[in-house]
Structure 1
């Protein structure tokens, strides 16, 4: 069986507006289920590919801050 997970995820949200996308993200975060991680990863991949260098730097700074808060011993 040849399953393209990325395409399946994109197909599931095709045509969604901003409110629907936010609801999908909020739902994934609230449930905290491991199976939701690939979908969030696909969303991040889309965001990353469409971002310019300054936006990427801002995302990286935010991620670094979040990781440090989550792992304070580092």
Structure 2
């Protein structure tokens, strides 16, 4: 389930008013908003995704992540 849906369900069940705002950030230009967006991108962690050949078994995951 999407996080927004979970949050919506939780807030609705608790009678908490909420609002989601979505703001598209510019990808070109030199506006103040673009400058802020670029600075935020540099501060936030980046993630690298790759397609696995096959899924890991539970045992392989525990050995890889060294879960105790």
- Tell me, yes or no, whether TM beats 0.5: no
**Please, what TM-score do these two structures have when normalized by structure 1?**
0.25
Structure that is richer in helix per residue: 1
State the structure with bigger RCO (CA 8 A, min sep 6), 1 or 2: 1
Higher gyration radius (CA): 2
